[in-house]
Chain A
């Protein structure tokens, strides 16, 4: 069975500060991992995904995430937050060879202060 835990329903940072959104997963087989972003009044869109190539994955808008098998984590980072990064972020896991239906986390709301 697969599951995702996103630590912190809200994360608040100042503009220009480091962004760190945490995601831990549980999977009985090697997983595929995703980060989606949801801007206000919009649907989710893919930010980046891990599919077993490089463990450090770069996405759009300067975001990146690192797959750490030993920690079962896939945390999302960005060196310098911008006001436009304010959104809801969802981590998702999908098991290879199993159900291709991803399991989504509860989401983390990123608040960026000027």
Chain B
């Protein structure tokens, strides 16, 4: 049974370029989360979806970040234009339903480096 799939695993880009991160959640999971992990801030929740709809994006810088979930099996996180401070590991996670005792299943992450 495949877990959460993320691509690419590594991305190196130059400041000002557009970056698109991709995620495929576990089949049947209604919730999808995007996190950013840095040494300074730890694990930050950027945005999450329920049944493809954005539920909360208050953690996401709206001027340059956008997140979409066009179907139940695919989500993207786009950064345009990218900046060096966006360098981080970005995780996608999914969860079965809204029960708060449910664990989150994390993907392997995308390590983004913006030069």
From residue B107, how far is it (CB to closest CB) to chain A in Å?
A: 5
Enumerate 9 A-B pairs (CB-CB under 8 Å) in ascending A order. Answer: A43-B107, A43-B108, A44-B43, A45-B106, A95-B100, A100-B95, A100-B99, A104-B42, A106-B42
B109 proximity list for chain A (CB < 8 A) = 41-43
Chain A contacts to B: CB under 8 angstroms: 32, 34, 36, 41-46, 49, 51, 90, 94-102, 104-107
Judge if B34 is at the interface, Cβ distance under 8 Å: no
Chain B residues whose C-beta falls within 8 Å of the C-beta of A43 in the assembled complex = 4, 91, 93, 106-109
Query: Whole-angstrom distance from the CB of A99 to the nearest CB of chain B?
Result: 7
User: B98 contacts which chain A residues (CB < 8 A)?
Assistant: 100
Contact partners of A32 in chain B: CB under 8 A: 100-101
How many residues of chain B are within 8 Å of chain A by beta carbon? 21
Question: B31-57 CB contact bits vs A (8 Å, 1 = yes)?
Answer: 001000000001101001000000010
Which B residues are within 8 Å of any A CB, using their own CB?
A: 4, 33, 42-43, 45, 48, 56, 91, 93, 95, 98-104, 106-109
Q: A42-B108, A43-B91, A96-B100 are in contact. Are A101 and B43 (CB under 8 A)?
A: no
Asked if residues B103 and A99 are in contact (CB atoms below 8 Å), the reply is no
Whether B48 lies near A49 (C-beta < 8 A) is no
Contact A49 B42, beta carbon cutoff 8 Å: no
Q: Which 5 A-B pairs give the minimum distances between C-beta atoms?
A: A43-B106, A100-B100, A94-B100, A46-B103, A106-B42
Question: Whole-angstrom distance from the CB of B113 to the nearest CB of chain A?
Answer: 14
Which of A44, A45, A98 lies in contact with B100, CB distance below 8 A? A98
Cα–Cα distance between A95 and B102 once the two chains are bound (Å): 11
In the complex, residue of chain B having the shortest beta-carbon distance to the beta carbon of A47: B103
Q: How far is the CA of A104 from the CA of B102 in the complex (A)?
A: 14
A44 vs B99: C-alpha distance in the bound complex, in angstroms?
19
Report chain A residues within 8 Å CB of B48.
101
Given contact pairs A101-B45, A104-B42, A44 touches B106 in the complex (Cβ within 8 A): yes
